[in-house]
């Protein structure tokens, strides 16, 4: 459809050198071709032209002092992409790879992910090129306070509600919320992922990883399969990976890998979850330390990975859970997974699969859960935290986990029935993109040209 091609070319011209954003936009726009052909109202209202442009882009400087008294300067970002369904909602990422293109791709994905949850939340994303690794607690506190001294004026419980992402956990949320409270003179749910001591929700920490596994469970059930007793590979060793591993164990699966930016652990007996949590959540050390405690495990440094591949996906498995970062799984990795008998890929990270690898999974008709559907459990539980804050109540872990499981089931059903509606019942990329877009687009039409 020439119309979609024209919009994509417009993006390249007006948002130069934002390759991750182009990739995310291309995936969505190509999926929308059958919808646009069937329902001309979306063309008439120029929804695509409007939805690919953020409602607001905030770029600011962050000045802070390190422990040596030296001034450091970083960039801060907040992309408030779409508020048709509710206040902007999306995490903050602190990582040296952060730039405008990365934040825009994340914010764009967030629009449709949030829509799929069925909850009243719009799409946004933010962060900084600040690297928290190797920084002292005081340096992280000073950076977070400096970052919030600008961002506080743009967020609020009914405006924009950030959360955590890569490099932003409970510690960073605490420092930022404290500064927000001081500057805004408000104690409100302007953040999610907060400590349980002051407004956080039980099961929020676990939600993204748990939700990714729930999504895999529902995909497999539709094919008469189960995760019980199956070998699974997981990439990453952060929050998403850790709680993906935890839920896999709860469902009887055997997770045998995890990784960080330096290398991969392969533990044939199954990843020692308690040890992994201690290394990454308490001691905050590199994953290579794992083999000091489990000498039978194998550690492969990243420089020893087979050329052009991620070693995680060279391990034979039944299901794979990419839970590290964008574009970590390429076409060669996808071929390796399929050759080893992998029949399920459920994405815990945002856009971890390259476009070519995604197309191969779709063509192979395996159970493939794209990130905007499979990892939506985190943001869904963030909205549950917002609901608890607004009502000033607290739900039990079991209540939140049950709500999460139902939300993930609803996302799967919505994505699969939409895919079937457009003639591709196994293509959940198509189904998720159309289902999420249609909900947001209909709201935009009903709210007028704003």
Instruction: Confirm whether 400 is domain-assigned.
Output: no
CATH number for 157? 3.40.50.10860
81, with CB counted inside 10 A (0-12, 13-18, 19+), is: buried
- From the centroid of its chain, how far is CA 62? 25
What's 205-229 look like in SS3?
HHHHHHHHHHHHHHHHHCCCCCCCC
The kind and range of the H/E element at 59 are strand 56-65
Instruction: Confirm whether 406 is domain-assigned.
Output: no
Whether 292 and 170 map to the same domain: the answer is no
- pLDDT-derived band at 381, boundaries 50, 70, 90: very high
* Mean pLDDT value of segment 354-364: 97
Whether 267 and 327 map to the same domain: the answer is yes
Distance CA 265, CA 287 (A): 7
Whether 210 and 183 map to the same domain: the answer is no
> Under the phi-then-psi rule, with left for phi > 0, alpha for psi from -120 to 50, and beta for the rest, what region is 341?
left
Whether 265 and 156 map to the same domain: the answer is no
Question: What value does the CA radius of gyration of the chain take, rounded to a whole number of Å?
Answer: 21
Whether 214 and 179 map to the same domain: the answer is no
78's tokens: 């907040």
Instruction: Confirm whether 21 is domain-assigned.
Output: yes
* Mean pLDDT value of segment 214-226: 98
Whether 318 and 180 map to the same domain: the answer is no
- pLDDT-derived band at 48, boundaries 50, 70, 90: very high
Instruction: Confirm whether 421 is domain-assigned.
Output: no
* Mean pLDDT value of segment 253-269: 97
Instruction: Confirm whether 278 is domain-assigned.
Output: yes
Whether 11 and 138 map to the same domain: the answer is yes
- Which pLDDT score, from 0 to 100, does residue 2 have? 57
- pLDDT-derived band at 3, boundaries 50, 70, 90: low
Does the pLDDT value for residue 5 go beyond 90? no
* Mean pLDDT value of segment 5-22: 89
Active site residue 439: no
190's tokens: 């302007």
Nearest Cα neighbor of 204 from 170, 234, 237, 249 is: 170
- pLDDT-derived band at 444, boundaries 50, 70, 90: very high
Q: 311, 342, 369 — which closes off a domain?
A: 369
Instruction: Confirm whether 382 is domain-assigned.
Output: no
Number of domains the chain contains:
2
Whether 168 and 278 map to the same domain: the answer is no
Mean pLDDT of the chain: 96
Distance CA 337, CA 334 (A): 5
Whether 219 and 137 map to the same domain: the answer is no
Whether 55 and 106 map to the same domain: the answer is yes
Q: 187, 218, 251 — which closes off a domain?
A: 187
Whether 180 and 221 map to the same domain: the answer is no
Distance CA 208, CA 243 (A): 8
* Mean pLDDT value of segment 75-93: 97
Whether 143 and 57 map to the same domain: the answer is yes
Residue 360: Cβ within 10 Å count = 19
Does the pLDDT value for residue 1 go beyond 60? no
The kind and range of the H/E element at 435 are helix 428-446
From the list 89, 104, 113, 125, the catalytic residue is 125
CATH number for 220? 3.40.50.720
Instruction: Confirm whether 192 is domain-assigned.
Output: no
Q: 320, 348, 369 — which closes off a domain?
A: 369
Q: Three-class SS of residue 166?
A: coil
- Which pLDDT score, from 0 to 100, does residue 8 have? 83
- pLDDT-derived band at 6, boundaries 50, 70, 90: confident
Does the pLDDT value for residue 306 go beyond 90? yes
Instruction: Confirm whether 444 is domain-assigned.
Output: no
- Which pLDDT score, from 0 to 100, does residue 162 have? 97
* Mean pLDDT value of segment 331-336: 98
pLDDT tens sequence across 195-207: 999 999 999 999 9
Range of the domain at 97: 2-187
């Amino acid at each position: 459809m020439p119309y979609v091609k024209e919009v994509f070319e417009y993006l390249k011209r007006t948002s130069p050198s934002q390759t991750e954003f182009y990739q995310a936009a291309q995936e969505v726009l190509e999926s929308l071709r059958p919808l646009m052909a069937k329902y001309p109202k979306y063309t008439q209202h120029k929804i695509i032209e409007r939805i690919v442009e953020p409602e607001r882009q905030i770029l600011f400087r962050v000045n802070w002092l390190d422990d040596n008294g030296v001034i450091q300067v970083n960039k801060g970002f907040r992309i408030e992409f779409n508020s048709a369904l509710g206040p902007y909602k999306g995490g903050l990422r602190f990582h040296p790879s952060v730039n405008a293109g990365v934040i825009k791709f994340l914010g764009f994905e967030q629009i449709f992910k949030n829509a799929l949850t069925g909850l009243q939340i719009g799409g946004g994303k933010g962060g900084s090129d600040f690297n928290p690794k190797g920084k002292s607690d005081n340096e992280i506190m000073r950076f977070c306070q400096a970052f919030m001294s600008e961002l506080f004026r743009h967020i609020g419980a009914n405006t924009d509600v950030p959360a955590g992402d890569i490099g932003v956990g409970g510690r960073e949320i605490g420092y930022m919320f404290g500064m927000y409270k001081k500057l805004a003179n408000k104690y409100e749910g302007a953040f999610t992922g907060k400590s349980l001591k002051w407004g956080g929700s039980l099961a929020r920490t676990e939600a993204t990883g748990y939700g990714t596994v729930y999504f895999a469970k529902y995909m497999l059930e539709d094919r008469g399969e189960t995760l019980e007793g199956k070998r699974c590979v997981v990439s990453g060793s952060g929050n998403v990976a850790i709680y993906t591993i935890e839920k896999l164990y709860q469902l009887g699966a055997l997770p045998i890998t995890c990784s960080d930016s330096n290398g991969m652990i392969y533990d044939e007996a199954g990843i020692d979850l308690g040890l992994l949590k201690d290394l990454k959540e308490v001691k905050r050390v590199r994953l290579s330390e794992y083999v000091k405690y489990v000498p039978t495990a194998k550690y492969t440094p990243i420089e020893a990975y087979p050329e052009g591949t991620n070693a995680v996906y060279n391990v034979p498995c039944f299901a794979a859970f990419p839970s590290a970062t964008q574009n970590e799984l390429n076409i060669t990795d996808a071929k390796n997974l399929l050759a080893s008998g992998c029949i399920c890929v459920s994405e815990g990270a945002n856009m971890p699969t390259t476009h070519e690898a995604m197309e191969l999974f779709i063509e192979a008709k395996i159970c493939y859960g794209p990130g905007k559907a499979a990892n939506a459990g985190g943001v869904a539980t963030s909205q549950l935290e917002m609901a608890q804050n607004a009502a000033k109540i607290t739900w039990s872990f079991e209540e939140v986990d049950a709500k999460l499981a139902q939300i993930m089931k609803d996302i799967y059903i919505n994505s699969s029935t939409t895919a079937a509606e457009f003639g591709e019942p196994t293509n959940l990329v198509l189904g998720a993109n159309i289902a999420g877009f249609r909900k947001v687009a209909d709201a935009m039409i009903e709210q007028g040209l704003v």
